[in-house]
Amino acid sequence: MRLEEKLENSLVMRNIRSDEDVVKFARFNAEFNNASEGATCELLLREHKGMTQEDFFLVEDTSAGEFLATICLIPWEISFEGIPIHAAMLEMVLSHPAHRKQGLVKRLILCFLAEVDKRGYEVSLITGIPNYYRQYGYTYAFDLGTSEILPAFLLPDSAKSPAGRYGLRNANQVDLGQLAKWHEENNRQKQVHVLRSDDHWRYLFDKAKFDIRIVEDTSTHAAVGYCLVNESADRKTIQIPEAVLPNHEVAQATLNLLRTDVTERIIIGCGKQDVLAQLVGEYGSVASRNTQWLIRTHDVVKFMNRIKPVFEKRLACAGCSCMSAEVIVNLFRYAIRLRIKEGKIESIQNVGFLDSSMGADGGDLCIPHDAFIRLLFGYRNLDELWDAWPDIVVKPEKKHIIEILLPKLCGHLYAPYHYQG
């Protein structure tokens, strides 16, 4: 249902509803953020198959017909160990410089969070300005923008020699099916990753103008892999945010083919386990940390119920198929009870407030909400979390089962949509 809510004075909070709005929304983001954000807005508004006008929210001063703040919702599907999770990304968060600190963006974000819940999204995520989104219940959870930086002079002589067997060409429409297949196969080694639909591949290629290169075997012209490439305007930096290449030989040839005489650094943004990241690691690249994704689960218990099969698989893999047990996780405001019967999750329930003060039992794992989100999504294990959260308390006799249920995972979230043209 379309949103239209009168605020104070002549302000209205509403969705986009006309072509004129589309232009104004994009222009607002271009003017007060930058041209690239404006172009991306327009693209999302006009070309993203999974988005409708109801995914764009704004505050308008109706007396002047002027937009004062915007946000939007970009839908993604995340695979959590094989379970598809619907995720809503908060984006295009912007308020007019003359109207900041008046709670306009807060109104929009609260409205967004209500929509996320109403529409049944299991998580919401954002890559955002430091600290700001914590106030809305977001927790830092997955690495974002982590990369390996290789000064070009560290490429060994063997990599500087002619690539020989392999060549690079620009991808074309016909390649899209194969690209999707490679991407999906490669992602299987990442326990948490963003799924990419055929429509989104078309969006990246046709509309967002991603530079997608195919690596070919020159003798047979068979395509063997691909990479996304982003070369800086001065051509000194080559960034590869994603690559699926079959082995070190092809990875080495790809670097060799991409590198020019003016290349000063190569930045690999793929996951740590990808062949290209491993190769540049061997050449002496430096790991660069950027920030972390912010994740919010509206209903932690619902999310845990959604991933029940994952818990059961973990129990089976740990040889606990016959185990029956109860685990109480106390998030201090409320506690969650997991009942396990013969290796199956019988129930996961919110059991309300559980006293953890002196003399009270408090449950098997007492853990602050933020720390639990990091644990639940496999970003950190209990031992790692203890450093920043000394208020985590675990019963020694339950630590093993908790570690089986909530292990550290290999996750890599890459969700591209920005206009590259």
Ligand X SMILES: CC(C)(COP(=O)(O)OP(=O)(O)OC[C@H]1O[C@@H](n2cnc3c(N)ncnc32)[C@H](O)[C@@H]1OP(=O)(O)O)[C@@H](O)C(=O)NCCC(=O)NCCS
Dist CA 380 CA 131 (whole Å):
19
Nearest Cα to 293, choosing from 415, 153, 375, 169? 415
Phi and psi at residue 45, to the nearest 5°: -65, -35
Which is closer to ligand X, CB of 64 or CB of 129?
129
What DSSP letter does each residue of 120-160 carry, written as one string? T-SEEEE--STTGGGGGT-EEEEEES-EEEEEGGGS-HHHH
Residue 137 interacting with ligand X (CB under 6 A): no
Residue 125 interacting with ligand X (CB under 6 A): no
Which is closer to ligand X, CB of 1 or CB of 129?
129
Q: Choose, by CB under 6 A, the member of 26, 94, 227, 266 that binds ligand X.
A: 94
For the bound state, the minimum distance from the C-beta of residue 142 to ligand X, rounded and expressed in Å, comes to 16
**Helices (H) and strands (E) in the chain — how many of each?**
13, 22
Phi and psi at residue 217, to the nearest 5°: -80, 120
What DSSP letter does each residue of 101-114 carry, written as one string? TSSHHHHHHHHHHH
For the bound state, the minimum distance from the C-beta of residue 115 to ligand X, rounded and expressed in Å, comes to 17
Residue 75's H or E segment, with its range, is strand 66-80
Q: Is the CB of residue 148 less than 8 Å from the CB of residue 282?
A: no
Could you tell me the two tokens for 9? 């004075």
Task: Say which amino acid occupies 30.
Answer: A
Dist CA 229 CA 170 (whole Å):
10
Stretch that binds ligand X, among 124-132, 146-154, 302-310, 354-362 (CB under 6 A): 124-132
Which is closer to ligand X, CB of 128 or CB of 378?
128
What is the footprint of ligand X within residues 51-90 (CB under 6 A)?
Answer: 69
Rounded (to 5) percent helix, strand, coil in the chain: 35, 30, 35
Which is closer to ligand X, CB of 129 or CB of 358?
129
Which is closer to ligand X, CB of 132 or CB of 283?
132
Strands (E), 256-397: 265-268, 286-288, 291-296, 325-330, 335-341, 344-352, 365-366, 393-394
Q: Choose, by CB under 6 A, the member of 38, 128, 269, 411 that binds ligand X.
A: 128
Which is closer to ligand X, CB of 133 or CB of 166?
133
Which is closer to ligand X, CB of 58 or CB of 320?
58
Residue 104 interacting with ligand X (CB under 6 A): yes
What is the footprint of ligand X within residues 12-51 (CB under 6 A)?
Answer: 33
Which residues does residue 170 pair with via DSSP β-bridges, in sequence order?
213
Stretch that binds ligand X, among 91-99, 213-221, 346-354, 407-415 (CB under 6 A): 91-99
Q: How many residues bind ligand X (CB under 6 A)?
A: 16
Q: Choose, by CB under 6 A, the member of 15, 29, 79, 95 that binds ligand X.
A: 95
Which is closer to ligand X, CB of 130 or CB of 396?
130
Which residues does residue 213 pair with via DSSP β-bridges, in sequence order?
170, 227
For the bound state, the minimum distance from the C-beta of residue 414 to ligand X, rounded and expressed in Å, comes to 18
Residue with the two structure tokens 């930045």: 267
Residue 255 interacting with ligand X (CB under 6 A): no
Which is closer to ligand X, CB of 40 or CB of 252?
40
For the bound state, the minimum distance from the C-beta of residue 332 to ligand X, rounded and expressed in Å, comes to 23
* Neighbour count for residue 403 (Cβ, 10 Å): 17
For the bound state, the minimum distance from the C-beta of residue 53 to ligand X, rounded and expressed in Å, comes to 21
Dist CA 40 CA 112 (whole Å):
20
Residue with the two structure tokens 């996951």: 271
Residue 106 interacting with ligand X (CB under 6 A): yes
Q: Choose, by CB under 6 A, the member of 87, 105, 240, 375 that binds ligand X.
A: 105
Q: Choose, by CB under 6 A, the member of 101, 153, 261, 357 that binds ligand X.
A: 101
Cα angle 269-274-279, degrees, rounded to a multiple of 5: 85
Which is closer to ligand X, CB of 131 or CB of 173?
131
The DSSP symbol for 362 reads: -
Q: Choose, by CB under 6 A, the member of 7, 31, 75, 103 that binds ligand X.
A: 103
Stretch that binds ligand X, among 96-104, 172-180, 303-311, 408-416 (CB under 6 A): 96-104
Q: Choose, by CB under 6 A, the member of 88, 93, 212, 320 that binds ligand X.
A: 93
- Applying CB under 6 A, the residues found at the interface with ligand X are 33, 69, 93-95, 100-106, 128-129, 131-132
